[in-house]
Structure 1
Amino acid sequence: MVMRNPLIKRIPKELKTDWRKYIVIIVFLVMMIGVISGMYVGRESMLEAIDSGKKELNLEDGSFELSKKATPELLEQIGEKYVDRIYEQFYRDESETKEQDHAHETTVRVFRSDAKVNQASFLSGRAPENVDEIAIDRMHADNVGLSIGDEIKVGNHTFEIVGLLSYVNYLTLHESNNDLMFDAFGFDVAMVTPEAFESLDARMHYNYAYQYENEPSDKIEEADMAEDFLKHLAGVVYAAGNGIEDYLPEYLRQASNFAPSDIEGDSTMTGILCYILIGVIAFIFAITISNTIEKEASVIGTLRASGYSKREMIMHYMSMPIIVTLIGALIGNILGYTAFRNVAVNLYYNSYSLPTCHLVWSNTALIKTTVIPLVLMFVINLLVIVRKMQLSPLRFLRHDLNKVKRTKARRLPRWTFLRRFRLRNLFQNLPNYVILIFGVIFIELMMCFAFGLPDSLNNYSTKAPDMMFAPYQYMLMDYRDAAGQTIDTKEATAEAFSATTLLYEKKQGGFRTGMGSGGDEAVTVYGIADDSAYIRTDVQLKKGEVCLSSAFADKFRLKDGDEITLHAEYENKTYHFKVVGRVNYDGGIAVFMPQDAYRNLFGQDANAFDGFFSRREITDINNQYIATVITQEDILKVTNQLNHSMGGLMNVFRYALIVMTAALIYLLTKIIIEKNEHSISMIKILGFENREIVSLYMIPTTIAVIVATLIGFAVGYVLMVWIFHIFMLQMDGYFVFYMKPESMILAVGYLLVGYVFVSVIDLGRIRKIPMDVALKTMD
């Protein structure tokens, strides 16, 4: 019969005796694992819903709009190449106003409820069944304050809202595919019955959705098929006396691809946050187990002298951290798959017009938030315990756990006794205060993240209108009109330019983006006029030479003399350039070259161009030739949507951070007090009152916390700038990390306020230390 290890009986007793410390550790673990797990699970649940929705809701492979309704014969001719099915998906763009508020008008794109392609997922309510019923986009309804049962006016007709939906091809509300950002406030999509649709007055858009007979194997093949199909489409359509108003392959549709691409990119931010918090956990476990061993040095020495082996002692002291971590991981994952997952999903619903999603299992969440912390805890504790257990039982009995001993006391200034005692106390606990500084650095790093990201977005929003090249930027469908004549304008401030988009591989030149795949960066290549009034290069560019935007140069640390390579996304073409200068432009990742060099490089006609910069509105170009117009309102739309999308996430993170901050400070100050229990007990025997003892021990700690906070913020801010740059490398575009002065004060103030609350608990700890502690631990 095998005898049970008597040390097992100490585990419940230890848990009961030091339950506050373990509760705090469990709370920290629960918050960390719960929040990160919830973000991963919510992300993967939403991506699964989007992917499954493409099949269940019959997403198109592309669409085209004709000038007039196609005949059955024309549709049959169109379907002769690549295409298996063609569906009518006509729509009307009407005005939408609240029944009680006609001052704010929205554009609503209305579809029929009997569509067989690009169908909708209903998040609440149902599809319209009567001519006076309508279903509208769920996100738009949330943004403008509409709900089921409300009435809205669409054109000249009044409808009752009976459903809130998400169209599979409108996951973001892009009115035009050329819009910089979707607009869930000023644009809506809706569904009405076929009878109600026919009664609307707005112009009918003869839009047709198609699906390929054979699914392309990759994006390059899909691009080739789309290009070949467009040539075929144009041939048969124009031969039939019809015209093409628009053509859009699905893989280029922003409204269906922007949201999943952005959600996939969220793993970068989640990963960075996870790595930071794993580092915090490793730090907590290291100091906690070291403190536990020092606190129980006499017990360990007695047990070792009684015959217990090092292996038995290591297993015993490993058990409690493992038990605590498992409890925290279990509760954290339960919350991650329930409450925190719902928070993450709601944040996505707050940003995009997404379908109903269901819970999915996330291996990534399990590995990063549970398996890695468990392994990390096991390894760190094992290393610390094994190292400590190399000491002899006698040294444990004497509390002699330090390898380096000071042979001579440090000489102090001739101050009063109390001031010298505090200074001596500060020197004696210097290693603990150094540990405190490292803990505070972690806290301030997270504080900088929580406050700095919204500040950075707001700062970018404020400066964004000033980053525009011109108040108006027009992109044309073609530089020639229907008659083949070059489009021109009488606007004196208009200046023609050329532009296209290429890709920059983020791993060029030995550069590594770090965590995540990162993908390729979209770069806008501008061909600008000589002596441009809008873009100043300040250098004379030769063949193969370019200037970079300041955002491009700063993001990838590029400088004059560097070589860069850009490539086309759907063609096997690469372009090599030498960097010779930069343009002070933080609004985008861009490359600038002379317009003649641009035309030669891309094989364009001598007078080809893609748009106009202008200080005033251009009114003498037919709207049918204008692809998009970018104004200050469009730039503000982008930044406002970013703030709307990110604000909720940062609020959730701040709340979680406050709890974790208090927990970490509690653990650190608890360690300092426990290491001074013997000294505190001794001066109680000497007759010092609790008030005097508090002043002797709390004042040095308070000074150390203030100094640690200031040092921690400075180091945390610098680290956050570096981490933020890595974060931006995974994203498209670039803006710098920024914190407002008041945010800096709050980042420091939150920690100090947390310390004040913890100090109240510390006062109670000091008062409860009995006098017999000094007698029990006498050498």
Structure 2
Amino acid sequence: MSPLIKRLPRELVHNIGKYLGIFLLMAVSIALTSGFLLAAHSISVIIDDMPETYVIEDGRFTTAFEATDEQLDAVRDTASDSGGIELYKNYSFDASFEKTQGDNARNCTVRTFEHRTQVDLAAYAQGGEPQAADEIAIDRVFATNNDVSMGDTVALNGVEFRVVGIMTLADNQALFQSNSDFTVNTLSFGVAEVSSEGFRALENTGFLPSYTYSYRFADRDLSVADRVDIEKDMVSALSDAHANVTDLTDVDSNQGIGYAKDDVSGDSAMWTTLLYIIIVIMAFVFVVLTSGTIEEESAIIGTLLASGYRRRELVAHYLALPCIVGIAAAAVGNVVGFTLMSEPMRNLYYGSYSLPPYCATWSWGVFFQTTVVPVAVLVLVTLVGLLRKMGHTPLQFLRHETSKGGVKRGFALPERLSFTARFRLRVFLRNLGNFATLFVGIGFASLLLLFSLAILPTMSHYAENLHNTVVAQHQYSLKAPLELEGTSDEREAWKAADTLQGVEGARLSALENAADDAQEKADALKVAAETLQVEPTLEAMQKAQDAQNAFAKSQDAFNSELDGVAADLGATRDDVVDMIDKVSDLNLDDENVHPVNTVDNGADTIAQAEKFAVYTLQYDRGEGNGEETIAVYGVQEGSRYWTDMDLGSGKAVFGGGLVDKFGFKQGDAIELYDKYEDKTHTLTFTGDEGTWGTKSTMNIYMSLDDFNAMFGNDAAYFNGYVSDEPLTLDSRYVASDLTPSDMDAIGEQFTGMMDDMIGMLVGMSVFIFLVFMYLLTKSVIDHNARSISYMKVFGYRDREVSKLYVRSITWCVAASLIVCQPLIIASLTAIFKAMLLSYSGNIEIYVPLACILEVIATGFATYLVVALLHVRHIKKVPLALALKNAE
């Protein structure tokens, strides 16, 4: 056994502050990371098991109106050659939500489904499925954020339900009200299930459901390419069958299903990268500190080398303590992470995502990442630094000529500088390597701190930009064109048509057939009667009698069907006949004839509303980052809402967010893919004059005429209204009503999601500040210990020595804190763009001056604590050190 081992305990005690700081920094970093990665791994296992456990759909499509059996059969035929496809009705209501007890300040929307037993099954955290007409099961995260508990009574569209279940829906793991939204909304949006009777009760409120159909392929091993081909054929088949498809979402692009998994995976990579960065920086700290120790013991090392010790023995000796401390920190960090930190980390996700009950799963991969890899990186980097430092001759060690950093002693400083200034400058120049490492450490810690402090302002700024993209108090999206202007007769006729749409399709068809048959029999009776008048024969009389009997029978059949329709509508037979007469005046077969709203909103309100059209296309982000969903708007030229746009003549105006995110240049041809029609549209970016909106605006705008020409619509087509006044629109045609307050909810949502994480990041950043500054500034003091001792021999007091050395460090720290801020902001911008490239939307990093000042103040305040420790350390430097032989 080497005698050098006896020095390790003494060295550990002598440098307890250094090694304790390194131990704590590494242990805390590993504890946080291992706790997170274990929770993330467990959540990933749960999510990976959900498709089969809860029968998650392969995709869904939505039609403007209920699809007919013929249209659904056309969909089934498209997959017949690939094993077949199962279709499931997945109708839902976006119902207004109200609590009957307690505070109900938010305007909430709850997407309510009829309890599903075949696809997208629910996972219950409490209670069970709704069975009675007044029972409801509600999403766990929404219930938590809105103080809804088991047994509470809530109202949807005015219909009261009792909460009997708290659950998670497999197709709504992340609560996105719209699949194109940038983030989840767990505060004002939720999902729920009711019984069949409860769903009928919601239908009776006069609102129409969203006609969504989920599908699963019989062949569970279909490739993505084959699945996409079938889905394209499905859209074409529906279009050919005259179904108005408003959306088709594959499971891979459904954020409600895939977003949570992607977020956990992305965050895992971020935390792992963060851990490795900390480990590498700590390794460099080890190198700096070990290098300082070697310089301090240079004469001893030279003597040992001259006495026959091999370099590898000395390398092993100086590597021993870093290895021991690193292994101990990794062990303690993992134990703390697995036992104490996994629960808080799990709550970060279970507070934002609707997932089945949590079950921890052990992962050797996580253990390898958080134990083996950090220790290996630490040992490797420290070893490389030691080998470089040990490459000197024994004579160089004896003469203290091992330091290659800093500036040689013979460097002349200006004579006009005072002694104090020159001395401090000399301290700085002779410790350039240590100060450079200090700058890097301060920069990294500042990056973490500024990132954590800037998240909320950035998200608030993003929400404010989104608020501004909503150009009116109401932005109504329609399932089909609906005219506001019309005569009272037209409104009555379309109201009758809408009322008759509420009759079961088969019964209405039977009524139409009975009416046609009665008309046919009436015409035959008329002919027979005319024949009888001209030729009053016995044969003619018999035919007239048969025609009379047939007419009477058809009339009875018509009246019977009419009574059935009247019963369905709760109306009289005369009312139904009157409605049929009114509808007969409408040319329903003409696609260019738009329905007229049945409610007159008033001339002034109608005059200030504007028509627009919108359609979604896909843009390939490139490099395997998926596709960006871009809304293309057709707006009126000279619009009172979309102001300062130069539209017409085929021009396209790009949102500022698109230009910022993808870096479009003037003249670039942008290809946008239409997944519903399997077409590619090319638009040209015209530069600054072709840019509109904030850096969160991800839309493209063109004139309404150009829009309809590009997509092959009739010239009068539109599918939306913008209005500063609320419009009363027929619910059958309304898809959504977007208001500025909906965007405000995003900022509140981000605040709720980020609060816990931000506190953790801020605490970690301050801790890293403290440890880095202590370790790196301590190395400067240790490196100059002999000089400090000389100063004391010459009669300088401890306070004066502190001013010479500590103040040099102080100025370096202050300069580093200020100088690194522009570099940090540039780094944050690049990091944000890289991190969010594969996500929808564009977030502009927003760093208020207050955040920068807070980082500088926090860093400096942390340093002041360290400086007090250094002043105390300087007092302990012995005078005897100056008397030791330096040769």
TM-score range with shorter-chain normalisation?
0.7 to 0.9
SS of 2:174 mapped into structure 1: coil
Report what 1:608 is aligned to. Answer: 717
Report what 1:442 is aligned to. Answer: 444
Q: Which moved more, 1:676-685 or 1:116-125?
A: 116-125
Q: Which moved more, 1:459-468 or 1:67-76?
A: 67-76
- Residues 1:580 and 1:267: Cα distance change in structure 2 (over 3 Å): farther
TM-score by length of 2: 0.75
Report what 2:299 is aligned to. Answer: 298
Q: Distance in 2 between matches of 1:250 and 1:403?
A: 60
Q: Distance in 2 between matches of 1:730 and 1:407?
A: 54
Is 2:628 aligned against 1:521? yes
Contact residue 661 and residue 751 of structure 1 kept, 8 A: yes
Aligned-residue offset at 1:390: 1.8
SS of 2:664 mapped into structure 1: coil
Q: Distance in 2 between matches of 1:120 and 1:258?
A: 18
Aligned-residue offset at 1:746: 1.1
Report what 2:732 is aligned to. Answer: 624
Superposed counterparts of 1:56-95, under 5 Å: 56-61=53-58, 82=79, 95=97
- Residues 1:488 and 1:386: Cα distance change in structure 2 (over 3 Å): farther
- Residues 1:230 and 1:713: Cα distance change in structure 2 (over 3 Å): closer
Aligned-residue offset at 1:101: 4.5
Aligned amino acid, residue 787 of structure 2: S
Q: Which moved more, 1:50-59 or 1:720-729?
A: 720-729
Q: Distance in 2 between matches of 1:51 and 1:542?
A: 50
Report what 1:567 is aligned to. Answer: 673
Q: Which moved more, 1:758-767 or 1:148-157?
A: 148-157
- Residues 1:202 and 1:638: Cα distance change in structure 2 (over 3 Å): farther
Is 2:800 aligned against 1:681? no
Aligned amino acid, residue 566 of structure 1: L
Query: What is the aligned counterpart of 1:769 among 874, 877, 886?
Result: 877
Report what 2:600 is aligned to. Answer: none
Larger Rg: 2
Report what 2:661 is aligned to. Answer: 555
Aligned amino acid, residue 714 of structure 2: D
- Residues 1:447 and 1:70: Cα distance change in structure 2 (over 3 Å): closer
- Residues 1:664 and 1:149: Cα distance change in structure 2 (over 3 Å): farther
Once the two structures are superposed, residues 472-510 of structure 1 have per-residue CA deviations (whole angstroms, 9 ceiling, x without a partner) of 323222337983323578723344333333333333xxx
Contact residue 678 and residue 773 of structure 1 kept, 8 A: yes
More helix by share: 2
- Residues 1:459 and 1:179: Cα distance change in structure 2 (over 3 Å): closer
Contact residue 97 and residue 106 of structure 1 kept, 8 A: no
Is 2:753 aligned against 1:753? no
- Residues 1:98 and 1:352: Cα distance change in structure 2 (over 3 Å): farther
Q: Distance in 2 between matches of 1:434 and 1:175?
A: 50
Query: What is the aligned counterpart of 1:579 among 667, 679, 685?
Result: 685
Q: Distance in 2 between matches of 1:563 and 1:165?
A: 47
Report what 1:222 is aligned to. Answer: 227
- Residues 1:376 and 1:177: Cα distance change in structure 2 (over 3 Å): closer
Q: Which moved more, 1:426-435 or 1:713-722?
A: 426-435
Once the two structures are superposed, residues 598-642 of structure 1 have per-residue CA deviations (whole angstroms, 9 ceiling, x without a partner) of 4444343344334334444343x4232222222212222233323
Q: Distance in 1 between matches of 2:859 and 2:453?
A: 13
Once the two structures are superposed, residues 24-69 of structure 1 have per-residue CA deviations (whole angstroms, 9 ceiling, x without a partner) of 1122222333333444443343233123122212223456899999
Is 2:654 aligned against 1:653? no
Contact residue 678 and residue 777 of structure 1 kept, 8 A: no
SS of 2:700 mapped into structure 1: strand
Aligned-residue offset at 1:416: 6.6
Contact residue 187 and residue 745 of structure 2 kept, 8 A: no
- Residues 1:407 and 1:113: Cα distance change in structure 2 (over 3 Å): closer
- Residues 1:756 and 1:74: Cα distance change in structure 2 (over 3 Å): closer
Q: Distance in 2 between matches of 1:524 and 1:20?
A: 58
Contact residue 86 and residue 216 of structure 2 kept, 8 A: yes
Q: Distance in 1 between matches of 2:201 and 2:613?
A: 43
Report what 2:341 is aligned to. Answer: 340
- Residues 1:471 and 1:96: Cα distance change in structure 2 (over 3 Å): closer
- Residues 1:594 and 1:269: Cα distance change in structure 2 (over 3 Å): farther
Contact residue 78 and residue 236 of structure 1 kept, 8 A: no
SS of 1:580 mapped into structure 2: coil
SS of 2:476 mapped into structure 1: strand
Q: Distance in 2 between matches of 1:588 and 1:269?
A: 27
Report what 2:518 is aligned to. Answer: none
Q: Distance in 2 between matches of 1:539 and 1:108?
A: 39
Aligned amino acid, residue 612 of structure 2: F
Report what 2:351 is aligned to. Answer: 350
Query: What is the aligned counterpart of 2:122 among 120, 123, 132?
Result: 120
SS of 2:608 mapped into structure 1: coil
Q: Which moved more, 1:399-408 or 1:709-718?
A: 399-408
Is 2:277 aligned against 1:170? no
Report what 1:713 is aligned to. Answer: 821
Superposed counterparts of 1:127-146, under 5 Å: 135-146=137-148
Aligned-residue offset at 1:754: 0.8
Superposed counterparts of 1:245-644, under 5 Å: 253-266=254-267, 269-270=270-271, 273-274=274-275, 276-277=277-278, 280-360=281-361, 365=366, 373-403=374-404, 406=408, 408=410, 410-411=412-413, 413=415, 421-479=423-481, 483=588, 484=591, 485-486=593-594, 491-507=606-622, 518-535=625-642, 546-569=652-675, 573-581=679-687, 582-586=690-694, 587-619=696-728, 621-644=729-752
- Residues 1:274 and 1:504: Cα distance change in structure 2 (over 3 Å): farther
Aligned-residue offset at 1:279: 5.2
Contact residue 46 and residue 357 of structure 1 kept, 8 A: yes
CA RMSD of aligned residues (A): 4.1
Contact residue 506 and residue 519 of structure 1 kept, 8 A: yes
TM-score by length of 1: 0.84
Q: Distance in 2 between matches of 1:643 and 1:96?
A: 23
- Residues 1:598 and 1:234: Cα distance change in structure 2 (over 3 Å): closer
Aligned amino acid, residue 559 of structure 1: K
Q: Distance in 2 between matches of 1:677 and 1:639?
A: 53
Q: Which moved more, 1:567-576 or 1:759-768?
A: 567-576
Contact residue 97 and residue 104 of structure 1 kept, 8 A: no
SS of 1:624 mapped into structure 2: coil
Q: Which moved more, 1:754-763 or 1:42-51?
A: 42-51
- Residues 1:547 and 1:62: Cα distance change in structure 2 (over 3 Å): closer
SS of 1:406 mapped into structure 2: coil
Aligned-residue offset at 1:384: 2.1
Aligned-residue offset at 1:747: 0.6
Once the two structures are superposed, residues 287-315 of structure 1 have per-residue CA deviations (whole angstroms, 9 ceiling, x without a partner) of 23322322322232122111112233233
Q: Which moved more, 1:262-271 or 1:694-703?
A: 262-271
Superposed counterparts of 1:31-110, under 5 Å: 31-61=28-58, 82=79, 95-101=97-103, 106-108=108-110
Aligned amino acid, residue 455 of structure 1: P
Unaligned runs of 5+ in 1: none
Contact residue 31 and residue 660 of structure 1 kept, 8 A: no
- Residues 1:520 and 1:322: Cα distance change in structure 2 (over 3 Å): farther
Report what 2:809 is aligned to. Answer: 701
- Residues 1:603 and 1:339: Cα distance change in structure 2 (over 3 Å): farther
Unaligned runs of 5+ in 2: 484-496, 498-587, 598-602
- Residues 1:190 and 1:41: Cα distance change in structure 2 (over 3 Å): same
